Structure formats: structure tokens, C-alpha cells
Amino acid sequence: MENPQDRVEIGRRVGAVSAFTVKHSLPMLSSIVVRKGESVPGSAFYELAIELGLLAPGEEKDRFAIGEMKRTWAVKMWPEAPA
């Protein structure tokens, strides 16, 4: 993860996974991907949540993230991603 381009690519892929899960009426799976040494996701998570219409600008971000984390862990069966 020392290469900045690797972090960009991982972020892109994690974002695509979250867009997929939200499209299927599931929580943002990326909610459980947190920054090293922190307990909440990074800024791109919140930006995507706003883009997907899940988080209103100005809404309490950490409360939203924790709610998504709880919803994510509560899912019993995730859909299979397309190949």
C-alpha cells in the first residue's frame, strides 16, 4: 500500500463493490474498510455515500458509517457478484 496508485486502484474497486451492494438494496460493504489506526472509513466512503444518495451533505458522518457497519455485519447472505 506504499504506492499511491495502488491505493487509488483499491479505492476504485471498493467503491464499485459498494455501488453494487447498494444497487441490490444492501448496505455499503465498504463501510467495514477502515483507515489504518482508525475505526471509521476514509473520506472517499462518505463522498460515495453522498453520490449514492445515502448520506445528506452535513449529516453526521461517523453515525452514518457506524450504522452502515452494523447493517453490513447483519447481512446473512450477500449476492454473487457478476463475473
Tell me: pLDDT of 18 over 70: yes
Q: Is residue 8 part of a domain?
A: yes
Question: Could you read off the pLDDT of 27-61 as tens digits, one per residue?
Answer: 999 999 888 888 889 889 999 999 999 999 889 99
Check residue 83 and give its pLDDT. Answer: 64
Q: Is residue 38 part of a domain?
A: yes
Q: Is residue 62 part of a domain?
A: yes
Q: Is residue 19 part of a domain?
A: yes
Q: Cβ distance 51 to 43 under 8 Å?
A: no
Residue of 34, 27, 39 lying closest to 76 (CA atoms): 27
Q: Is residue 79 part of a domain?
A: no
Give the total number of structural domains in the chain.
Answer: 1
Owning domain of residue 54: 4-74
Q: Is residue 80 part of a domain?
A: no
